[in-house]
Amino acid sequence: MYANPPGFSGQRNAARLVWTGLGDRGWDCRLFALPTLDRTADSSRGCIPRIVLLVRVVQTWLVALRLRFREPAAYTFLACSQTLTGLVRDGITFLILTAGRRGSVAVIALNGNAFSSWSFRDLRARVFRFLARNATCVTVVGDGQRDRLAALGVRPERIRVVANTADAPLLAAAQVESKQRESHGPVRLLYLSSLITSKGYPTYLEALKLLAHRDGPPLKAILCGAIVASPHDEFGLESAARVWIHEALAAIGQTSRIRVRWIPGADGDEKYDLLSRCHVFVLPTLYPVEAQPLALLEAMASGCAIVTTGIAEIPVLLPRDANVAVIIDDPTPSTVADAVERLVREPEARLSLAMAARGRYADYFAADQHIDAWERLFADIGRGS
Protein backbone atom coordinates (compact mmCIF):
# COMPACT_ATOMS: atom_id res chain seq x y z
CA MET A 1 0.00 0.00 0.00
CA TYR A 2 1.12 3.52 -0.70
CA ALA A 3 -0.28 7.02 -1.16
CA ASN A 4 -0.75 7.86 -4.82
CA PRO A 5 -0.40 11.63 -5.39
CA PRO A 6 -0.14 13.23 -8.84
CA GLY A 7 3.40 13.80 -10.06
CA PHE A 8 6.51 12.25 -8.58
CA SER A 9 6.44 10.65 -5.13
CA GLY A 10 9.57 9.17 -3.59
CA GLN A 11 7.45 7.14 -1.18
CA ARG A 12 5.38 5.65 -3.99
CA ASN A 13 8.47 4.99 -6.08
CA ALA A 14 10.18 3.19 -3.21
CA ALA A 15 7.10 1.01 -2.67
CA ARG A 16 6.87 0.16 -6.36
CA LEU A 17 10.53 -0.83 -6.49
CA VAL A 18 9.88 -3.37 -3.72
CA TRP A 19 6.72 -4.62 -5.43
CA THR A 20 8.39 -4.89 -8.85
CA GLY A 21 11.53 -6.53 -7.50
CA LEU A 22 9.65 -9.15 -5.50
CA GLY A 23 7.27 -9.76 -8.41
CA ASP A 24 10.22 -10.44 -10.70
CA ARG A 25 11.29 -13.14 -8.25
CA GLY A 26 7.96 -14.91 -8.31
CA TRP A 27 6.10 -13.23 -5.48
CA ASP A 28 2.37 -12.66 -6.04
CA CYS A 29 2.22 -8.92 -5.31
CA ARG A 30 -0.85 -6.69 -5.51
CA LEU A 31 -0.78 -2.91 -5.35
CA PHE A 32 -3.22 -0.97 -3.21
CA ALA A 33 -3.06 2.77 -4.01
CA LEU A 34 -4.45 5.24 -1.48
CA PRO A 35 -6.03 8.51 -2.71
CA THR A 36 -4.53 11.93 -1.95
CA LEU A 37 -5.10 15.59 -2.73
CA ASP A 38 -3.61 16.95 -5.93
CA ARG A 39 -1.13 19.29 -4.26
CA THR A 40 0.41 20.25 -7.59
CA ALA A 41 -2.68 22.39 -8.26
CA ASP A 42 -3.58 25.67 -6.57
CA SER A 43 -7.22 24.50 -6.52
CA SER A 44 -6.36 21.81 -3.93
CA ARG A 45 -6.73 24.46 -1.22
CA GLY A 46 -10.53 24.61 -1.46
CA CYS A 47 -13.13 22.65 0.52
CA ILE A 48 -14.60 20.70 -2.39
CA PRO A 49 -11.38 18.75 -3.19
CA ARG A 50 -11.20 17.71 0.47
CA ILE A 51 -14.79 16.48 0.48
CA VAL A 52 -14.13 14.51 -2.70
CA LEU A 53 -11.00 13.05 -1.10
CA LEU A 54 -12.94 11.98 1.99
CA VAL A 55 -15.47 10.13 -0.17
CA ARG A 56 -12.65 8.38 -2.06
CA VAL A 57 -10.91 7.41 1.19
CA VAL A 58 -14.10 5.86 2.58
CA GLN A 59 -14.49 3.93 -0.67
CA THR A 60 -10.91 2.72 -0.24
CA TRP A 61 -11.67 1.44 3.26
CA LEU A 62 -14.66 -0.50 1.92
CA VAL A 63 -12.46 -2.08 -0.76
CA ALA A 64 -9.90 -2.98 1.92
CA LEU A 65 -12.62 -4.64 3.99
CA ARG A 66 -13.66 -6.74 1.02
CA LEU A 67 -10.04 -7.73 0.32
CA ARG A 68 -9.47 -8.77 3.92
CA PHE A 69 -12.09 -11.49 3.70
CA ARG A 70 -11.96 -12.44 0.02
CA GLU A 71 -8.23 -12.22 -0.73
CA PRO A 72 -6.29 -12.17 2.56
CA ALA A 73 -2.56 -11.50 2.16
CA ALA A 74 0.24 -13.38 3.91
CA TYR A 75 2.34 -10.21 3.88
CA THR A 76 1.10 -6.62 4.05
CA PHE A 77 3.49 -3.78 3.22
CA LEU A 78 2.55 -0.15 3.92
CA ALA A 79 4.69 2.75 2.70
CA CYS A 80 3.35 5.00 5.42
CA SER A 81 2.62 8.71 5.15
CA GLN A 82 3.77 10.95 7.99
CA THR A 83 1.18 13.73 8.03
CA LEU A 84 -1.67 13.39 10.50
CA THR A 85 -4.30 12.98 7.78
CA GLY A 86 -2.05 10.53 5.94
CA LEU A 87 -1.48 8.50 9.10
CA VAL A 88 -5.22 8.26 9.70
CA ARG A 89 -5.97 7.32 6.07
CA ASP A 90 -3.12 4.81 5.83
CA GLY A 91 -3.51 3.53 9.37
CA ILE A 92 -7.20 2.68 9.13
CA THR A 93 -6.60 0.92 5.81
CA PHE A 94 -3.68 -0.98 7.34
CA LEU A 95 -5.70 -2.04 10.38
CA ILE A 96 -8.66 -3.16 8.26
CA LEU A 97 -6.34 -5.46 6.33
CA THR A 98 -4.20 -6.75 9.21
CA ALA A 99 -5.73 -6.37 12.69
CA GLY A 100 -6.31 -9.67 14.46
CA ARG A 101 -4.93 -11.83 11.63
CA ARG A 102 -2.71 -14.45 13.21
CA GLY A 103 0.26 -15.74 11.26
CA SER A 104 0.33 -12.84 8.80
CA VAL A 105 3.24 -10.40 8.49
CA ALA A 106 2.57 -6.66 8.50
CA VAL A 107 5.38 -4.22 7.69
CA ILE A 108 5.29 -0.43 7.90
CA ALA A 109 7.99 1.31 5.85
CA LEU A 110 9.05 4.91 6.52
CA ASN A 111 10.81 6.43 3.52
CA GLY A 112 10.59 10.09 4.49
CA ASN A 113 11.95 11.86 7.54
CA ALA A 114 9.05 13.96 8.84
CA PHE A 115 8.80 11.85 12.00
CA SER A 116 12.22 13.07 13.13
CA SER A 117 10.64 16.41 14.06
CA TRP A 118 7.88 14.89 16.20
CA SER A 119 7.92 15.16 19.97
CA PHE A 120 7.06 12.11 22.06
CA ARG A 121 3.65 13.59 22.92
CA ASP A 122 2.88 14.76 19.39
CA LEU A 123 -0.47 13.39 18.20
CA ARG A 124 1.23 12.02 15.09
CA ALA A 125 3.72 10.15 17.27
CA ARG A 126 0.92 8.69 19.38
CA VAL A 127 -0.99 7.56 16.28
CA PHE A 128 2.14 6.01 14.81
CA ARG A 129 3.02 4.19 18.05
CA PHE A 130 -0.44 2.62 17.97
CA LEU A 131 0.08 1.50 14.36
CA ALA A 132 3.56 0.18 15.15
CA ARG A 133 2.17 -1.97 17.96
CA ASN A 134 -0.05 -3.63 15.34
CA ALA A 135 2.83 -4.22 12.88
CA THR A 136 5.32 -7.05 12.79
CA CYS A 137 8.10 -4.53 12.15
CA VAL A 138 8.81 -0.97 11.03
CA THR A 139 11.55 -0.19 8.52
CA VAL A 140 13.59 3.00 8.15
CA VAL A 141 16.40 3.87 5.74
CA GLY A 142 19.25 4.63 8.16
CA ASP A 143 20.62 4.21 11.67
CA GLY A 144 19.83 7.80 12.62
CA GLN A 145 16.18 7.22 11.81
CA ARG A 146 16.20 3.98 13.78
CA ASP A 147 17.48 5.78 16.88
CA ARG A 148 14.95 8.58 16.47
CA LEU A 149 12.04 6.16 16.06
CA ALA A 150 13.11 4.29 19.20
CA ALA A 151 13.19 7.61 21.08
CA LEU A 152 9.58 8.16 20.00
CA GLY A 153 8.56 4.96 21.76
CA VAL A 154 8.64 2.29 19.06
CA ARG A 155 10.18 -0.90 20.45
CA PRO A 156 13.79 -1.13 19.15
CA GLU A 157 13.50 -4.83 18.35
CA ARG A 158 10.70 -4.02 15.90
CA ILE A 159 12.76 -1.50 13.93
CA ARG A 160 14.82 -2.64 10.92
CA VAL A 161 17.04 -0.65 8.55
CA VAL A 162 16.65 -1.14 4.79
CA ALA A 163 18.38 1.55 2.72
CA ASN A 164 16.77 2.91 -0.42
CA THR A 165 17.53 1.88 -3.98
CA ALA A 166 16.70 3.19 -7.45
CA ASP A 167 15.71 1.56 -10.72
CA ALA A 168 18.29 3.50 -12.72
CA PRO A 169 20.45 1.41 -15.07
CA LEU A 170 24.07 1.17 -13.92
CA LEU A 171 26.19 3.07 -16.43
CA ALA A 172 29.25 1.06 -17.50
CA ALA A 173 32.53 2.24 -16.00
CA ALA A 174 33.97 2.84 -19.47
CA GLN A 175 31.00 5.07 -20.32
CA VAL A 176 31.48 7.06 -17.13
CA GLU A 177 35.15 7.58 -17.92
CA SER A 178 34.39 8.62 -21.49
CA LYS A 179 31.67 11.03 -20.37
CA GLN A 180 33.68 12.74 -17.67
CA ARG A 181 36.85 13.04 -19.77
CA GLU A 182 35.28 14.30 -22.98
CA SER A 183 36.93 17.56 -23.99
CA HIS A 184 34.46 18.85 -26.58
CA GLY A 185 31.16 20.56 -25.92
CA PRO A 186 29.83 22.21 -22.76
CA VAL A 187 29.97 20.72 -19.27
CA ARG A 188 26.44 19.56 -18.47
CA LEU A 189 24.83 20.38 -15.12
CA LEU A 190 21.58 18.87 -13.85
CA TYR A 191 19.11 19.45 -11.03
CA LEU A 192 16.50 16.67 -11.07
CA SER A 193 13.98 16.56 -8.26
CA SER A 194 10.64 17.99 -7.20
CA LEU A 195 10.54 21.78 -7.39
CA ILE A 196 10.11 22.62 -3.73
CA THR A 197 12.16 25.58 -2.52
CA SER A 198 13.74 23.70 0.39
CA LYS A 199 14.90 21.01 -2.06
CA GLY A 200 17.31 23.68 -3.31
CA TYR A 201 16.26 24.52 -6.84
CA PRO A 202 16.30 28.31 -6.18
CA THR A 203 19.84 27.93 -4.83
CA TYR A 204 20.78 26.03 -7.98
CA LEU A 205 19.38 28.73 -10.25
CA GLU A 206 20.98 31.53 -8.22
CA ALA A 207 24.30 29.66 -8.42
CA LEU A 208 23.89 29.50 -12.19
CA LYS A 209 23.42 33.28 -12.23
CA LEU A 210 26.80 33.65 -10.50
CA LEU A 211 28.49 31.16 -12.82
CA ALA A 212 27.03 32.92 -15.85
CA HIS A 213 29.05 36.03 -15.03
CA ARG A 214 32.34 34.20 -14.49
CA ASP A 215 34.85 33.38 -17.18
CA GLY A 216 35.21 29.66 -17.77
CA PRO A 217 34.24 26.65 -19.88
CA PRO A 218 30.79 26.78 -21.48
CA LEU A 219 27.97 25.15 -19.53
CA LYS A 220 24.65 23.54 -20.40
CA ALA A 221 22.35 23.52 -17.37
CA ILE A 222 19.02 21.78 -16.94
CA LEU A 223 16.41 22.28 -14.25
CA CYS A 224 14.21 19.17 -14.30
CA GLY A 225 11.19 18.79 -12.09
CA ALA A 226 7.55 19.66 -11.55
CA ILE A 227 6.44 22.36 -9.15
CA VAL A 228 4.94 20.71 -6.06
CA ALA A 229 2.82 22.53 -3.47
CA SER A 230 4.31 21.84 -0.07
CA PRO A 231 4.32 23.32 3.44
CA HIS A 232 8.10 23.45 2.97
CA ASP A 233 7.85 25.76 -0.04
CA GLU A 234 8.32 29.52 0.22
CA PHE A 235 6.24 30.45 -2.83
CA GLY A 236 2.97 28.96 -1.65
CA LEU A 237 1.30 29.03 -5.06
CA GLU A 238 2.38 27.13 -8.15
CA SER A 239 1.80 30.23 -10.26
CA ALA A 240 4.19 32.32 -8.16
CA ALA A 241 6.92 29.68 -8.41
CA ARG A 242 6.46 29.47 -12.16
CA VAL A 243 6.89 33.24 -12.59
CA TRP A 244 10.06 33.24 -10.46
CA ILE A 245 11.58 30.33 -12.41
CA HIS A 246 10.99 31.99 -15.77
CA GLU A 247 12.51 35.24 -14.52
CA ALA A 248 15.58 33.37 -13.24
CA LEU A 249 16.00 31.48 -16.51
CA ALA A 250 15.72 34.72 -18.47
CA ALA A 251 18.42 36.35 -16.33
CA ILE A 252 20.78 33.39 -16.81
CA GLY A 253 20.07 33.30 -20.53
CA GLN A 254 21.24 36.89 -21.03
CA THR A 255 24.87 35.75 -20.76
CA SER A 256 26.84 33.69 -23.26
CA ARG A 257 28.42 31.15 -20.90
CA ILE A 258 25.36 29.11 -19.92
CA ARG A 259 22.54 27.62 -21.95
CA VAL A 260 19.76 26.73 -19.54
CA ARG A 261 16.32 25.17 -19.86
CA TRP A 262 13.54 23.89 -17.66
CA ILE A 263 12.02 20.45 -18.19
CA PRO A 264 8.84 20.17 -16.04
CA GLY A 265 9.56 16.59 -15.04
CA ALA A 266 11.02 13.53 -16.75
CA ASP A 267 10.59 9.81 -16.31
CA GLY A 268 11.77 6.55 -17.82
CA ASP A 269 14.15 6.75 -20.76
CA GLU A 270 14.02 10.55 -20.87
CA LYS A 271 15.17 10.81 -17.26
CA TYR A 272 17.95 8.26 -17.64
CA ASP A 273 19.14 9.94 -20.83
CA LEU A 274 19.50 13.20 -18.90
CA LEU A 275 21.41 11.44 -16.13
CA SER A 276 23.67 9.49 -18.47
CA ARG A 277 24.72 12.74 -20.18
CA CYS A 278 25.12 14.73 -16.97
CA HIS A 279 28.63 15.62 -15.76
CA VAL A 280 27.70 17.37 -12.49
CA PHE A 281 24.50 16.63 -10.56
CA VAL A 282 23.42 19.34 -8.11
CA LEU A 283 20.93 18.82 -5.27
CA PRO A 284 21.54 21.45 -2.54
CA THR A 285 18.66 20.16 -0.42
CA LEU A 286 17.66 21.34 3.03
CA TYR A 287 14.23 19.70 2.74
CA PRO A 288 13.03 19.19 6.34
CA VAL A 289 11.59 15.73 5.63
CA GLU A 290 14.46 14.54 3.44
CA ALA A 291 15.65 10.98 4.00
CA GLN A 292 17.61 9.33 1.16
CA PRO A 293 16.70 11.07 -2.11
CA LEU A 294 16.16 8.65 -4.96
CA ALA A 295 17.59 11.30 -7.28
CA LEU A 296 20.98 10.93 -5.60
CA LEU A 297 20.91 7.16 -6.06
CA GLU A 298 20.06 7.64 -9.73
CA ALA A 299 22.91 10.11 -10.12
CA MET A 300 25.31 7.67 -8.44
CA ALA A 301 24.29 4.87 -10.80
CA SER A 302 24.67 7.21 -13.79
CA GLY A 303 28.26 8.22 -13.11
CA CYS A 304 27.61 11.85 -12.18
CA ALA A 305 29.87 13.95 -9.98
CA ILE A 306 27.52 15.00 -7.18
CA VAL A 307 27.20 18.27 -5.26
CA THR A 308 24.75 17.97 -2.36
CA THR A 309 24.31 18.40 1.39
CA GLY A 310 24.85 16.07 4.33
CA ILE A 311 21.42 16.28 5.92
CA ALA A 312 19.24 13.41 7.16
CA GLU A 313 20.34 9.98 5.86
CA ILE A 314 22.27 11.27 2.83
CA PRO A 315 25.59 10.35 4.57
CA VAL A 316 24.51 6.70 4.39
CA LEU A 317 24.64 7.03 0.61
CA LEU A 318 27.53 9.49 0.39
CA PRO A 319 29.77 9.38 3.48
CA ARG A 320 31.81 12.51 4.04
CA ASP A 321 35.06 10.59 4.43
CA ALA A 322 34.62 8.38 1.35
CA ASN A 323 35.41 10.99 -1.34
CA VAL A 324 32.29 10.12 -3.32
CA ALA A 325 30.67 13.57 -3.53
CA VAL A 326 31.09 17.24 -2.69
CA ILE A 327 29.15 17.73 0.54
CA ILE A 328 28.18 21.32 1.37
CA ASP A 329 27.02 22.14 4.90
CA ASP A 330 25.80 25.64 4.02
CA PRO A 331 24.33 25.50 0.51
CA THR A 332 24.22 29.14 -0.57
CA PRO A 333 24.37 30.26 -4.21
CA SER A 334 28.03 31.17 -3.65
CA THR A 335 29.11 27.87 -2.07
CA VAL A 336 27.24 25.85 -4.68
CA ALA A 337 28.68 27.92 -7.53
CA ASP A 338 32.22 27.49 -6.16
CA ALA A 339 31.80 23.71 -5.83
CA VAL A 340 30.38 23.39 -9.33
CA GLU A 341 33.07 25.64 -10.81
CA ARG A 342 35.83 23.47 -9.38
CA LEU A 343 34.33 20.34 -10.91
CA VAL A 344 33.75 22.10 -14.22
CA ARG A 345 37.42 23.05 -14.42
CA GLU A 346 38.83 19.72 -13.14
CA PRO A 347 37.61 16.76 -15.21
CA GLU A 348 39.84 14.33 -13.30
CA ALA A 349 38.21 15.38 -10.03
CA ARG A 350 34.80 14.88 -11.65
CA LEU A 351 35.83 11.45 -12.85
CA SER A 352 37.16 10.40 -9.45
CA LEU A 353 33.95 11.36 -7.66
CA ALA A 354 31.72 9.87 -10.36
CA MET A 355 33.51 6.52 -10.37
CA ALA A 356 33.55 6.33 -6.57
CA ALA A 357 29.82 7.10 -6.34
CA ARG A 358 29.01 4.61 -9.08
CA GLY A 359 31.04 1.92 -7.32
CA ARG A 360 29.34 2.59 -4.01
CA TYR A 361 25.92 2.31 -5.63
CA ALA A 362 26.85 -0.98 -7.32
CA ASP A 363 28.27 -2.44 -4.10
CA TYR A 364 25.58 -1.40 -1.62
CA PHE A 365 22.44 0.12 -3.15
CA ALA A 366 21.68 -1.62 -6.46
CA ALA A 367 18.21 -3.08 -6.90
CA ASP A 368 19.29 -6.72 -6.49
CA GLN A 369 20.89 -6.02 -3.10
CA HIS A 370 17.79 -4.10 -2.07
CA ILE A 371 15.39 -6.91 -2.93
CA ASP A 372 17.74 -9.42 -1.26
CA ALA A 373 17.42 -7.34 1.91
CA TRP A 374 13.63 -7.36 1.73
CA GLU A 375 13.47 -11.10 1.14
CA ARG A 376 15.76 -11.68 4.14
CA LEU A 377 13.59 -9.38 6.23
CA PHE A 378 10.33 -11.08 5.27
CA ALA A 379 11.86 -14.51 5.88
CA ASP A 380 13.21 -13.45 9.27
CA ILE A 381 10.06 -11.83 10.61
CA GLY A 382 7.90 -14.51 9.01
CA ARG A 383 9.64 -17.16 11.13
CA GLY A 384 8.92 -15.17 14.26
CA SER A 385 5.30 -14.32 13.55
Shared-domain flag, residues 211 and 221:
yes
CATH code (residue 149): 3.40.50.2000
Shared-domain flag, residues 205 and 138:
no
Shared-domain flag, residues 247 and 320:
yes
Report how far residue 242's alpha carbon sits from residue 123's, in angstroms, rounded to the nearest whole number. 35
Shared-domain flag, residues 158 and 177:
no
Number of domains forming the structure of the chain: 2
Shared-domain flag, residues 153 and 13:
yes
Render each residue's pLDDT in the chain as its tens digit; 385 residues: 888 877 677 788 888 899 899 999 999 998 888 998 775 555 556 788 888 889 999 999 999 999 888 887 889 999 999 999 999 999 999 999 998 888 789 999 998 899 999 999 999 999 999 999 999 999 999 999 999 999 999 999 999 999 999 989 999 999 999 999 998 899 999 999 999 999 999 999 999 999 999 999 999 999 999 998 777 778 878 889 999 999 999 999 999 999 999 999 999 999 999 999 999 999 999 999 899 999 999 999 999 999 999 999 999 999 999 999 999 999 999 999 999 999 999 999 999 999 999 999 999 999 999 999 999 999 998 876 5
Shared-domain flag, residues 116 and 263:
no
Per the structure, the complete domain to which residue 126 belongs is given by 2-165+367-384
Report how far residue 370's alpha carbon sits from residue 292's, in angstroms, rounded to the nearest whole number. 14
Shared-domain flag, residues 208 and 273:
yes
Shared-domain flag, residues 181 and 305:
yes
93 by DSSP, 3-state: which? helix
377 Cβ contact list (under 8 Å, min separation 6): 107, 137, 139, 160, 162
Shared-domain flag, residues 263 and 329:
yes
